[in-house]
């Protein structure tokens, strides 16, 4: 699943109806896979989505001496066989920012790490300074030379640290420090830790491996260092961003969709905003142990103001998709981006489809229009790609989206799932 020059062609005007099952969370699975470096025993991770980012992470793990297999049932079996390699090279790391999360496990288990500065989506500056600050606090020596982070620590030592930056806490940074601290000597306290469900899921996996972590899901996480960790089995949480994207698709397309295996406690801000707009949200009884929610479009929607915030606030990763809904809502809506103030690459492309959006600093002003018109557009990042697909579902005529390899980084077969709901969508 490389960066192929594929396009996606969406024919607008088809109502979406039916059921869709949500895949495992990309943002939870990536650090959990990296955590397998903390032991030489076998780890089995279930419910791992089939995404190019996962392919890249498994390639990095193999480069670091692991055997890693993604099976057809969605489980990944990974085991560190050779614990000598410490280098995560540029050609692998450049494609995905989350690859930085091998830093903590390598330092904790192998005492050294050499990791290329990471790449990923172009959504504004996303520094890794808090990752480095956390490792330094645990006693690691760090240098950056020729585009590589060189880290070393004969022994990591627990400490109290404040992990805060210009835009609040760091999800990946919290996870990275948490992994490193599991094998540190003594107790580590992370103040201003990220509370996101993906951090909680990683902590659950680490505890299953034998770590002693408490407070995950709050702003204060306590990690009591242990001598060693062992292999474990774990099921990744459902992807709340994929669930929110399909909710937006139902709202936009005059749809009626039952979403299966979405953790509703991870989506309270999203469900609240949908209700505020006027979308009908019905919780259904669980089926085969999976939570279900029904999203039913309404005829008249209301404009709203939306602010992205760290969990449990409205997720930045759903900002572009909700901007697409509000393009067609009468009146003026304001969306303020508090996590990544530059994350508005989708605005110019939505305007090409006939939207009326104006950017003012870290806020966009969305004036509702009567309809969107299909046109060729360019995907610039993962979530902007999803927003353009959603716009294509309701635009008049055909929308051609270029550079859709971004989409395959974070959505497991999104075109197949949309087709099953009645969308007219194909790759070319």
First to last CA, the chain: 15
SS3 content of the chain, % helix, strand, coil (to 5): 35, 30, 35
Rg (CA), the chain: 21
CA distance linking residue 358 with residue 104, whole number of Å: 41
For the four alpha carbons of 258, 264, 266 and 267, in that order, the dihedral sign comes to positive
Q: Is 121 a catalytic residue?
A: yes
Cβ atoms of 399 and 426 within 8 Å: the answer is: no
Structure tokens, 347: 């605005």
CA distance linking residue 384 with residue 401, whole number of Å: 11
Extended beta strands in 297-350, E state: 305-308, 332-337
Among the options 43, 66, 121, 195, which is catalytic? Answer: 121
Instruction: Write the burial class of residue 358 (CB in 10 Å: 0-12 exposed, 13-18 middle, 19+ buried).
Output: exposed
Residue whose entry in the numeric block shows the structure tokens 């109502």: 15
Q: Which DSSP string do the residues of 345-404 spell out, in sequence order?
A: THHHHHHHTT-EEEEETTEEEEE--S--B--EEE--SHHHHHHHHHHHHHSBSEEEEE-T
**Residue (of 402, 427, 399) closest to 414 by Cα position:** 427
Residues designated as active site? 121
């Amino acid at each position: 699943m490389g960066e192929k020059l594929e396009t996606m062609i969406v024919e607008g005007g088809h109502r979406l109806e039916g059921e869709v099952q949500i895949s495992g969370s990309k943002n939870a699975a990536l650090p959990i896979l990296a955590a397998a470096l903390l032991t030489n025993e076998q780890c089995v991770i279930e419910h791992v989505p089939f995404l190019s980012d996962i392919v890249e992470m498994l390639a990095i793990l193999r480069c670091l001496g692991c055997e890693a297999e993604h099976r057809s049932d969605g489980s990944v079996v990974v085991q560190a066989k050779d614990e000598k390699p410490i280098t995560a090279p540029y050609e692998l790391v450049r494609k995905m920012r989350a690859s930085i999360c091998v830093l903590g496990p390598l330092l904790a288990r192998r005492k050294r790490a050499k990791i290329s500065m990471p790449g990923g989506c172009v959504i504004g500056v996303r520094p890794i300074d808090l990752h480095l600050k956390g490792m330094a606090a645990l006693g690691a020596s760090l240098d950056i030379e020729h585009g590589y982070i060189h880290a070393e620590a004969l022994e990591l030592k627990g400490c109290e640290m404040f992990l805060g930056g210009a835009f609040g806490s760091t999800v990946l940074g919290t996870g990275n420090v948490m992994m490193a601290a599991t094998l540190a000597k003594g107790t580590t306290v992370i103040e201003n830790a990220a509370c996101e469900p993906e951090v909680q899921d990683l902590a659950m996996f680490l505890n299953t491996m034998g770590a002693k972590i408490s407070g995950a899901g709050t702003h204060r996480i306590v990690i009591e260092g242990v001598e060693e960790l062992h292999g474990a089995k774990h099921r990744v949480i459902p992807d709340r961003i994929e669930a929110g994207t399909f909710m937006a698709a139902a709202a936009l397309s005059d749809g009626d969709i039952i979403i299966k295996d979405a953790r509703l406690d991870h989506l309270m801000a999203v469900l609240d905003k949908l209700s505020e707009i006027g979308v009908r949200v019905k919780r259904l009884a669980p089926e085969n142990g999976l939570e279900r929610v029904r999203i039913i479009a309404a005829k008249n929607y209301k404009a709203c103001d939306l602010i992205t915030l760290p969990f449990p606030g409205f997720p930045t990763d759903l900002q572009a998709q909700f901007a697409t809904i509000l393009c067609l809502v009468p009146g003026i809506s304001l969306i303020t981006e508090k996590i990544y103030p530059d994350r508005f690459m989708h605005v110019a492309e939505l305007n090409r489809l006939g939207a009326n959006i104006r950017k003012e600093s870290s806020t966009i002003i969305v004036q509702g229009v009567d309809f969107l018109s299909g046109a060729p557009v360019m995907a610039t990042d993962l979530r902007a790609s999803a927003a353009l697909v959603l716009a294509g579902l309701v635009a008049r005529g055909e929308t051609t989206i270029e550079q859709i390899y971004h989409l395959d980084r974070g959505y497991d077969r999104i075109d197949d799932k949309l087709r099953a709901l009645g969308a007219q969508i194909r790759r070319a």
